[in-house]
Structure 1
Amino acid sequence: MTTAAQPSATDLMTAAARQDNRANPYPYYAQLRQQPVARADDGTWLVSGYQEIYQLMHDPRISSDRRNPYLPPPETKSLLVQDPPCHDQLRRQVTQHFIPRIMGMRDHLHELVTDLLDAHISEQPGQLDIVADLAYPLPVTVICELLGVPRQDEPLFGSLSRVLTRGLEPIDIPTEEEISELVDAHRQLTEYLQGLIEHRRTHPGDDLISDLLHSSTPEGPMGPKDLLTTLTLLLVAGHETTVNLIANGTLALLRNPDALARLRTDPDLATPLVEEVLRYDPPVQMTIRSTLADIDLAGTTIPKGSRVRLMLAAGNRDANRFDNPDQFLPDRRDNAHLGFGGGLHYCIGATLARAEAHIALTALAGRLDSPRLVADPPPYRDNAVLRGPQHLPVSFNRLTSDTRTA
């Protein structure tokens, strides 16, 4: 009797990234973890074990310097793809203004969520698309307000960012038409942001762009090229990941009615629950690094100059790190997940994303009477890296008023 050959790392990565497996790539990640460091056919190293990912994220021999191969080389790089010391200076310039602005936003976030849901208040059975009606407009509005983007221009970023994130796909090679769309979207966003920067240079306002342009802190103002790439990063990453976090969280709650019932009566559960969503079904499934030297890892040597794909979602379900990793446990303890990355490049917007998810999920649990999924699984976005539902229709018996303002 012959034994079927084990699928290769390339086969498993390809299967996990396929659209028809988008609803549940986790069985393929589990098979990948059987060899936590494996070389794919294209030379990329796939790292899927929690400890191995964690080690690389904190290893100074790992570089974040990577560029979208389908876009023209930028004049300068965003902090997401820079290494120290340039990364550290850019990050300090952003955080010294960004973090103070978001620390007092909880009441405003609650008002935004309330307004979005109030538009659908009904004493009769109804339906919401959690993505279109809440998970998308909330973070887009917030990041645009922070940066000083006029509200009427907010819709521009949805279409452009969805095109720009196509270049993250791990398997598919884009067509010439898709590459042309990608380049055009990048050009449109660049031109818009350049105009906004120039306006804020002479007409500063109460926003992050003005802060960075006219900073009097020891780091000084940010140069125009660095500011352009930083704004592009904040606008795209500042809402794309949070859309998925809220949608994936809603999906987990509706598939786990006990957790939903607990959150409805105990809003404090939102804090560990959001952390569990980030572990169980993270909005960013994987990220890319490269090696600056030979690195020995899990009995394997990854050569200098190699491209490394850190499989964050796979590491988050590693049984060597988490008990019952395939279970959604809303009050899980010792939940040091990889949902926001780690090391020098730990997500700069983590505090804001957590707050948005806390408030949105608590409001949904408290205000939707008998919510249920219209389709399970829902349709998913055509993006294996920023993985989340494209639409998440939820029906309910009624949508009540907010108890905090009623």
Structure 2
Amino acid sequence: MKALTTFLLLILSAWAWADNHASVTVGRFVQAQGEADILYGDEYGARMRAVRDAIQNASMQASANVRSSQVMENGRLTVDYVRINSAAQVTDVEVVTESVDGDTFRVSIDARVSESQMCANHVVNDFAKSVAVTSFALEKPTDTTLGHLGAVDRSLPSHLVNELNGRGGVRALNASYLMMYPSIPTAPTRVSTRNTLTRAVDTARDLGVQFVVSGVVRDLGMQTVDRQRDNNAGLLAVLTQPGRVQQRHLVLDLYVHDGYSGALVAQSRYSAQGVWDFRSNERVGFATPKFFASDFGRSVDLLFDQVVQDIYATVECQPFMANIAQVNGQTIMIKMGAESGLRPGDHLSVYRTSTFFDREQQDYTQLTDTQLVARVTQVQPHFAVAELPIQVERLNVQPDDVVIAW
């Protein structure tokens, strides 16, 4: 009887785990409504904005976090602030009904929402975001002497480019020839031309990509350790190879900058260590097959997997963006093409770019939604042509403005 009871409990536990697991990964279907104003007679653009509004409402039904704060002065309410955000991702969107009521476009959708997703309130598209990976500066060049690892500044970004291109949704470009930071010890902080401190990089805006990945190798040195105290060595290694061994360390700082503003959007530090059992004069090279066959190389390979995963997670949650290269009447030319996944019939929102300055005359880039939607009509490998519902002069759309796909 006791065995039967235990067996039933195990089955119930398995069912409960499966049910909870399914609710996280599969989510549930909800119905939501959205609406948008029809501008410039563009009903399709209004339809897109209405669907986006409905998607936001659907995500709020699944998981809404509310923050509120109130400030009282002399018994009077002076500040009343409420912020609502969602931690849900919306997929499998289907428009059930749509209608036009005067100058308003209304839609009703069915959608699947999943709580606790990485990109909350985000609908994944198939466009590949462009990422340039620049040189990884070495803070202590003498660390590379043993093993002849002096090419780490270019070998490391080249390896990351290959790994990133093996994933969908990212188009990685090798810019390992480019050194981003004039002062390595203080990177990514630098002194601007106006003697102010900043973590923005102007060079990132000149590469013509959406994101720029860079970094600094802080440590690649050696240390002699007692093998019995080395956690990376197994029991067999301890018994068969007693004594002291050479252990190598890698400490890496990673930076991700926005390619349109130059602002720093992500920063992380990574470290790995392992036994370095090569001869002192042996030519190994960084990120070579011989390098990855060592204990230290295997640790670094696992570290790179985490780095690539973090880069991918950072760019995946951002919308697809591309510059406008030319404007002519109702036609615009976009600096992204088939290699980014654009196809005829795709629709992109048009944003104006402008620059404003703070009191120190530091410039910042601002994006303003024009409420226009451009329809892609022609796609080439490196550029695309799209049509607008009105003449570009009406809203002063210019080259270097951007299109965005949410």
State the TM-score bracket (shorter-chain normalisation).
Answer: under 0.3
Larger relative contact order, structure 1 or 2 (CA cutoff 8 Å, min sep 6): 1
Q: Which has the larger radius of gyration?
A: 2
Higher strand share: 2
- Give the TM-score normalised by the residue count of structure 1: 0.22
